[in-house]
Structure 1
Amino acid sequence: MVRGDLFWGLQGALDRRGLGPVAGVDEAGRGACAGPLVVAACVLRPGDAARLPELTDSKVLTAKARDRVYDRVVQRAVDYSVIVIPAAEVDLFGIHVMNLEGMRRAVSALRNTPGYVLTDGFRVSGLPAPSVPVIKGDKAVACVAAASVLAKVTRDRIMSDLHDVHPHYGFDVHKGYSTTDHGAALDTHGPSPVHRWSYANVATAAAAHRVRPPHPVVLTVAALENPSVPIRALGPYVGNNERSAAGTAAKSRGGARIS
């Protein structure tokens, strides 16, 4: 585990020691209760951080700045991939399992196997190259920050498109995160097919509206411990997350490159 205080130095050190190309991996949407989880991997040219002056953690950039950096990263990247994991997979296997699996899929979707992989915060087993997690990697490693921007912009655009299909929820504003307005919309309308029905707030709204999930759901610990979530009311294929799906998910590979 590496602390994120190296200010772009780690990637350069690996490249100089012949351990490149170095791929950075990051996600967007882990904390949302609606919409997909998006994971990206990115390989930059050595020294390209200097040619991307706005590059940093996507969460601290404005939307316009993210779009500018996104375009520059797509233009300059040696290689990149973006993996979109729908809410149904998150509901079945759990967010942490799918976050790790998404990172495996993103690296596997690169055209060439990297020499080294840097991940943002989480240790990931099963990658096709040596790897190390970097705490706050999206602020410390250029290729991780680039992956952060690719994932965030892709997901924001997906959520804006979903707003056109489900305008009641305000996905174009909060992007599926649990804001006060989003909670009010859930209370009023109940969950949509693109919500994460395994999450406590969504499961509670589903039970209140007497609607059942459109796909199999393994409830989160928070949902199971919430007395306002009657499991029987959510349908016949709702399980609990004492049943681990990690083994099944670890065998899964795939994903499409977005370019």
Structure 2
Amino acid sequence: MLAPPRTVVRREGGLYALERALQRRGFRLVAGADEAGRGACAGPLVAAAAILPEGRRGEIEELADSKLLTPAARERVYDEVVARALTWSVVVIPATEVDARGLHVCNLAAMRRALASLAARPEYVLTDGFPVDGLDAPGLAVWKGDRVAACVAAASVLAKVTRDRLMVDLDTRFPGYGFAVHKGYITDEHSTALARLGPCAEHRFSYVNVAAASGRGNRPPRARRPRDAAPRPAPDAVEPMMLWPVAEGTVGVASGDQPRPPVPVGEDEAMEGEKR
């Protein structure tokens, strides 16, 4: 019995090499998924998925890992991805859901939901960093995938720009924290404001620094949201999240209405001290 031919990833293909190799093997619809906001202690977690066209139609000149782009470049690339992608989707997980279910659980669920929301069924899936189970397609978790695969980089830009826009909106609703500047990540300025004002309803109370600022002490990552904190954003609070869908894409807000038991999350602790 002959072994199947090896998949050759050509280095000169750059960001598109992995997708092109998969397409040569017959996987024409290669989807990428990524998230934004994993290391933040305030604001939502946002995941996105995208399928780019084959060949030159899917090539975007400035496309790169969203963290390597300037805000202006991200906006330009976002517009290009929305215009050129065969299909794309964005899923927003509120901070309350991150507290209730845990960061890692929400991260995987958001990417899974974003992939399931695509208008076309992926034939192969590339995810950034973490394997995602429950997909109706073969997939591969790629370390630093947003720097290796174009579809993952496109998803990273969709997620990052969407989340940044949401954080700018939250800055007007919760002034004083500087959300429009640091986007909810743990910076010196954010920590100072958190100590002075205390947490708002959009902070993640399962993070040690937020739990401490709320007066609940230096609790472990599973510390719960205080009773006087808003348990869930009001429906009108998430309305701005729904303003950006276009013909080929979708933007959704996770409801989180199904109760789930607490799940231990090992990744939270490492992310809480992260500074951006």
TM-score band, normalised by the shorter chain?
Answer: 0.7 to 0.9
2-structure distance, mates of 1:56, 1:168: 32
**Equivalent residue, structure 2, for 1:255:** none
Is the 1:33–1:178 contact (alpha carbons within 8 Å) kept by the matching residues of 2?
yes
Report the alpha carbon displacement of residue 49 of structure 1 after superposing the two structures with TM. Answer: 7.7
Deviations 1:28-82 (A, max 9, x none): 0000000000000000011248731110000010000000000001000000000
Deviation per residue, 1:81-106 (Å, 9 max, x gap): 00000001100011101000001100
From 224, 240, 243, the counterpart of 2:220: 224
Structure 2 equivalent of residue 40 of structure 1: 48
Contact conserved, 1:49 with 1:55, CA < 8 A, in 2? no
- Does 2:150 match 1:131? no
Structure 2: give runs of 5+ residues left out of the alignment: 1-8, 230-260, 266-276
Task: For residue 108 of structure 2, give the secondary structure of its aligned residue in structure 1.
Answer: helix
Counterpart in the other structure of 1:185: 193
- Matched with 1:99 is 107
Q: 1:14 aligns with which of 3, 22, 45?
A: 22
Q: 1:244 aligns with which of 248, 260, 263?
A: 263
Deviations 1:231-252 (A, max 9, x none): 8x94599xxxx94279xxxxxx
State the 1:128 CA deviation: 1.9
* Counterpart code for 1:15: Q
Task: Report the counterpart of residue 144 of structure 1 in structure 2.
Answer: 152
Aligned residue number for residue 68 of structure 2: 60
Is the CA contact (8 Å cut-off) linking 1:207 and 1:234 kept in structure 2?
no
Output the CA distance in 2 between the equivalents of 1:197 and 1:48.
45
For 1:216, the equivalent position in structure 2 comes to none
Q: Distance in 1 between matches of 2:137 and 2:58?
A: 26
Instruction: Give the direction of change, closer, same or farther, for the CA distance of 1:225–1:18 in structure 2 (3 Å limit).
Output: closer
Q: CA deviation at 1:17?
A: 1.4
Counterpart pick for 1:205 among 206, 209, 213: 213
Matched position secondary structure for 1:103: helix
Trace 1:164-175 onto structure 2 (pairs within 5 A).
164-175=172-183
> In 1, Cα distance between the equivalents of 2:142 and 2:168?
30
1:119 to 105, 127, 138: 127
Check the 8 A contact 1:36/1:155 in 2, yes or no.
Answer: yes
Counterpart of 1:249? none
Unaligned stretches of 5+ residues in structure 1: 211-221, 247-259
TM-score (norm 2): 0.75
| Count of residues in correspondence between the two structures | 224
Task: State yes or no: 1:89 paired with 2:97.
Answer: yes
- The TM-score, its normalising length taken from structure 1, stands at 0.80
Sort the Cα spacing of 1:63 and 1:23 in 2 relative to 1 into closer, same or farther, 3 A: same
Distance 1:49 1:156, change over 3 A: farther
Q: Tell me which amino acid in the other structure corresponds to 2:263.
A: S
| Paired residues of 2:52 and 2:58 also in contact (CA < 8 A) | no
Q: Does the C-alpha gap of structure 1 residues 49 and 177 become closer, same or farther in structure 2, counting only changes over 3 Å?
A: farther
